[in-house]
């Protein structure tokens, strides 16, 4: 098999969760060229994918969530037909996605059973109760691959590691290590009404508790493009809090890799923490942590007792961290 197309709608976290499936495809078909159809907002995840950097993986931007008309789908169809793919794997379960795959003429079309599966040649059972990376990896069974899922991992560029090292030196935390806090205040989550944001006043109590128990361990808060207000509240309410602003996913991953541990919410940085094997404590509201975290000691989900993020007490967070 020489050319494999994958359709991966969703954000950066979904792309990272799909990395083990891409790894499995390359292990089984080492000479294959991979293409990933990805939403523009999430293509930055591939800065941390080794196959993108060695030239064997191509990114095809397409906004699955936009109101795409026939012309948009037609343009994508033209791009796909130009490559003459041998197989396609799709996470998308919409009827339109199945029809699109059928129209491509790709001989082997793998996806989940359900809506649109009539257009697939090899539907596989959808098992949403398991860890998402395992659910995505189930797609390779449609190609007859029965190997276990590879661990999630990312590739860190030297320039990203150098950037993180320089920032750590500037903040004075290069020798001591640090606790990294990522609040993850996503505007998309707010727009969709998703309960994924832990209140700033609760974070303040967590920071104070960490400082009381480990006064010599610096605390660094990661500031994303939408986190100005969150970071301002934390720095005004606490002392000695340091701030770092990674400009892209690669530098964020390098920052997480340098941390002693990370506290975060259900977000893309959580998956990066898993990938770089930093001890990661992630807060969950209505989402089941078992579906988004692997069953490993380094990744701990802190589940709200009421399915509301605000109801996770700061003491609960501190007890998880300090045992």
Global pTM value: 0.95
Please state, in angstroms and as integers, the Cα–Cα distance from residue 160 to each residue in 152, 258, 269, following that order. Answer: 19, 11, 15
**Among candidate residues 143, 175, 206, the one where a domain is terminated:** 143
Mean pLDDT of the 201-207 span: 97
For residue 176, pLDDT beyond 90: yes
Residues 110 and 252 in one domain: no
Residues 81 and 175 in one domain: no
**Among candidate residues 143, 174, 207, the one where a domain is terminated:** 143
Asked, for residue 296, whether it belongs to a domain, the answer is yes
Asked, for residue 70, whether it belongs to a domain, the answer is yes
Asked if 13 and 271 count as a contact pair (C-beta separation under 8 A), the reply is yes
Residues 11 and 130 in one domain: yes
Asked, for residue 197, whether it belongs to a domain, the answer is yes
Residues 189 and 287 in one domain: yes
Residue 194 in tokens = 């998703």
Asked, for residue 150, whether it belongs to a domain, the answer is no
Burial of 152 (0-12, 13-18, 19+ CB in 10 A): buried
Residues 130 and 167 in one domain: no
Beta bridge partners of 72: none
Asked if 250 and 160 count as a contact pair (C-beta separation under 8 A), the reply is yes
Asked if 115 and 94 count as a contact pair (C-beta separation under 8 A), the reply is yes
**Among candidate residues 117, 143, 169, the one where a domain is terminated:** 143
Q: Domain span at residue 246?
A: 158-322
Into how many domains does the chain fold?
Answer: 2
Please tell me the predicted confidence (pLDDT) of residue 231: 94
Asked, for residue 153, whether it belongs to a domain, the answer is no
Mean pLDDT of the 127-134 span: 97
Residues 111 and 227 in one domain: no
Q: How confident is the model at residue 288 (pLDDT cuts 50, 70, 90)?
A: very high
Torsion angle in degrees (nearest 10) through CA of 296, 190, 195, 249: 10
Beta bridge partners of 262: 180, 280
Higher-confidence position of 1 and 116: 1
Residues 15 and 45 in one domain: yes
* Residue 108 belongs to domain with CATH number: 3.40.50.2000
For residue 257, pLDDT beyond 80: yes
Q: How confident is the model at residue 194 (pLDDT cuts 50, 70, 90)?
A: confident
Residues 30 and 163 in one domain: no
Q: Are strands 241-244 and 87-90 parallel, antiparallel or unpaired?
A: unpaired
Residues 175 and 287 in one domain: yes
Residues 108 and 196 in one domain: no
Asked, for residue 210, whether it belongs to a domain, the answer is yes
Residues 171 and 283 in one domain: yes
Asked, for residue 273, whether it belongs to a domain, the answer is yes
Residues 15 and 164 in one domain: no
pLDDT in tens, 51-102: 999 999 999 999 987 677 788 889 999 999 999 999 999 998 888 889 999 9
Residue appearing with tokens 């495809």 = 25
Q: Tell me which residue of 5, 85, 72 sits closest to 38, measured CA to CA.
A: 5
Task: Write down the number of H helices and E strands in the chain.
Answer: 12, 12
Higher-confidence position of 157 and 224: 157
Asked, for residue 148, whether it belongs to a domain, the answer is no
Helices in the chain by DSSP H: which ranges?
A: 12-28, 50-53, 70-83, 95-104, 132-137, 158-171, 187-192, 200-213, 228-237, 249-257, 268-276, 314-322
Q: Are strands 33-38 and 108-112 parallel, antiparallel or unpaired?
A: unpaired
Asked if 199 and 219 count as a contact pair (C-beta separation under 8 A), the reply is no
């Amino acid at each position: 098999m020489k050319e494999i197309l994958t359709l991966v709608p969703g954000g950066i976290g979904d792309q990272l969760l799909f990395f083990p499936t891409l790894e499995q495809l390359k292990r089984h078909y080492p000479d294959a060229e991979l293409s990933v159809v990805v939403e523009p907002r999430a293509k930055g995840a591939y800065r941390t994918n080794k196959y993108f950097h060695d030239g064997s993986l191509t990114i095809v931007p397409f906004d699955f969530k936009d109101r795409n008309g026939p012309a948009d789908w037609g343009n994508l169809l033209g791009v796909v037909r130009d490559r003459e793919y041998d197989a396609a794997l799709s996470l998308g379960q919409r009827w339109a996605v199945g029809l699109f795959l059928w129209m491509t003429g790709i001989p082997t079309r793998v996806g989940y059973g359900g809506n649109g599966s009539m257009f697939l040649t090899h539907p596989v059972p959808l098992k949403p109760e398991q860890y998402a990376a395992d659910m995505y990896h189930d797609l390779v069974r449609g190609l007859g691959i029965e190997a276990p899922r590879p661990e999630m991992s990312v590739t860190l560029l030297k320039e990203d590691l150098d950037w993180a090292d320089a920032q750590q030196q500037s903040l004075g935390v290069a020798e001591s290590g640090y606790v990294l806090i990522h609040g993850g205040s996503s505007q998309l989550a707010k727009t969709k009404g998703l309960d994924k944001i832990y209140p700033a006043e609760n974070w303040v109590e967590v920071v104070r508790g960490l400082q009381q128990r480990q006064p010599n361990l610096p605390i660094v808060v990661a500031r994303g493009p939408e986190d100005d207000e969150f970071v301002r509240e934390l720095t005004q309410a606490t002392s000695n809090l340091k701030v770092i602003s990674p400009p892209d996913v690669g530098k964020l991953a390098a920052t997480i890799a340098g941390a002693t541990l990370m506290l975060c919410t259900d977000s893309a940085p959580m998956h990066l923490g898993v990938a770089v094997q930093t001890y990661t404590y992630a807060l969950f509201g209505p989402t089941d942590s078992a579906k988004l975290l692997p069953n490993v000691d380094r990744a701990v989900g802190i589940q709200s007792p009421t399915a509301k993020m605000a109801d996770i007490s700061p003491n609960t967070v501190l007890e998880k961290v300090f045992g």
